[in-house]
Amino acid sequence: MKKLIIGLIALVFLAGASIGFYLAAKHNKDKEKEQTKQELADNVLFSFDPYSPTKIVFSKGDEVYTAEKTEDEWALTNGEFKLDQTYCQLICTYLSDLKAVTNYGSVTDEKLAMYGLDDPDKVEITLPSGTHTIYIGSESPTGDYYYVTVDGKSNVYAVDSLQGSVLKLDRLLLKNKMIVPYSLYDLQEVTTYKDGKVLCDLSFNADTQAWSLPKEYSELELDQTAVTAALNDLVRLEAEEMLDEKLDDLSKYGFDKPYGDIVVKGSDGSEHHIIISANDNDPTYCFVLVDDEQVELYYREDLTIANALPYDYLVRNYVSADSYSVSSFNFSYLGNNDTCEVDIKNMQCKYNGKDVDFDSTENYVAFNNFFNAFAIVKLKGTDVTAKPELKDPVMTAEYSFSDGTSLKIDLVKGEEEKYYVFRDGKYIGAYVDESMLTGRDSLSEFYIKFKKLAGI
């Protein structure tokens, strides 16, 4: 019995000891949790609405840039250059919930010097509720962190290297990286040059809300969709990389021998000059000099507009007539002088005095193919400087329309395979080539096939 009592006493003692140990461990663990909680809370450097800031000051030593937001647009107070709107908003977003990875204890002069915080970069961000300031020092030896301090907190902290790097003052990061500071609706004129001569000149008419080429192209139809697509691509271009500022030696990037030269004018009267040169080290890219100051890097294929010709913006199929509006026509080609009276709506056709049976689908399709082969002039290029004479045309189509008007189209052989197009005796500034007249699906093929089927 005595032994049993002693055993019970021992068990009670052990149980009491276990409870004591448990309570002590729990107390220590709770303290650790509380300490961790406090440390985590302390590592939250900022917490605010990322769209509430109205002012950001970037500085390092005597170099200071003050940006203020008005009507959702950031601008430097001194107007020195346009700001990168995306970068400014990213700064606000980064800082709005910035958390340190760890901290290195209280700030001391020794730590400030050790972590590059004795001569830091500084970002001050102002909200309606007040101003927050962060100081950015050196990058850690491993490249994982940047050391920072924050107004209102007494420790030195480490933040993620990506977040820290974007906070370091860099003038080129601040600058607007768009190739031109316009939207599509702000453009007034875009002119490209080659060897000092105008290559293409596009201008916008606010009254007609349409783009146009110079008057020498007035006989040709501009493809408004092609123009707006090309210009929309231009105004959306953003530099892949910002390089030198205020370039002194043009030959450094090949700007002494550029392959592209563009002047862009805005509806506000401003203009910007863009010079493009080849990147011999990587032909995928090209160098761009903006306003004779900033060198930038772009994908070469994104700037094909620099070498585009007026022809690239034209409607290629020059429709001189459609069969539904024509009452008759005279057609001269391959030594033949033909006449045709036609009424498509009533399916009637008399060709060279002979009735053509349009009840025959084969005849009707053959006529339409033939008519469209000469009525739709397939332009292959422009040459407004040429002075061709209307002499010995290889093809003539003279239409009489149902509304009483008339029109005459002539093709005159020029140099090589060019055939200059005349409208009512006037050269329109464009030409077709041999492919319209001969070969597969050409005028010759459809002309011979139609006459054969119609028995003419």
Q: Return d(Cα 356, Cα 242) in angstroms, integer.
A: 69
Q: Is the pLDDT of residue 445 over 90?
A: yes
What mean pLDDT do residues 374-387 have?
97
Backbone dihedral angles phi then psi of residue 87, each to the nearest 5 degrees: -65, -45
pLDDT of 7 reads 40
Given a contact cutoff of 8 angstroms between Cβ atoms, the answer to whether 345 and 326 are in contact is no
pLDDT of 333 reads 97
The partner residues of 395 in beta bridges, in order of sequence, read 333, 411
Q: pLDDT of 292-349, one tens digit each?
A: 999 999 999 999 999 999 999 999 999 999 999 999 999 999 999 999 999 999 999 9
Q: Return d(Cα 451, Cα 447) in angstroms, integer.
A: 6
Q: pLDDT of 263-280, one tens digit each?
A: 999 999 999 999 999 999
Q: Return d(Cα 131, Cα 207) in angstroms, integer.
A: 48
140: DSSP letter: P
| Helix or strand holding residue 172 (H, E) | helix 171-174
What mean pLDDT do residues 150-161 have?
96
How do strand 336-343 and strand 348-351 relate by DSSP bridges? Answer: antiparallel
pLDDT of 105 reads 95
Number of neighbours of residue 353 by Cβ within 10 angstroms: 9
pLDDT of 42 reads 85
Q: Is the pLDDT of residue 8 over 90?
A: no
Q: pLDDT of 91-115, one tens digit each?
A: 999 999 999 999 999 999 999 999 9
Nearest CA-CA partner of 274 in 290, 287, 257: 290
- Between 4 and 57, name the one with better pLDDT: 57
pLDDT of 39 reads 53
- For the record, the structure tokens of 73 come out as 């647009």
- For the record, the structure tokens of 133 come out as 């300031």
pLDDT of 11 reads 34
Q: Is the pLDDT of residue 4 over 80?
A: no
- For the record, the structure tokens of 200 come out as 């293409």
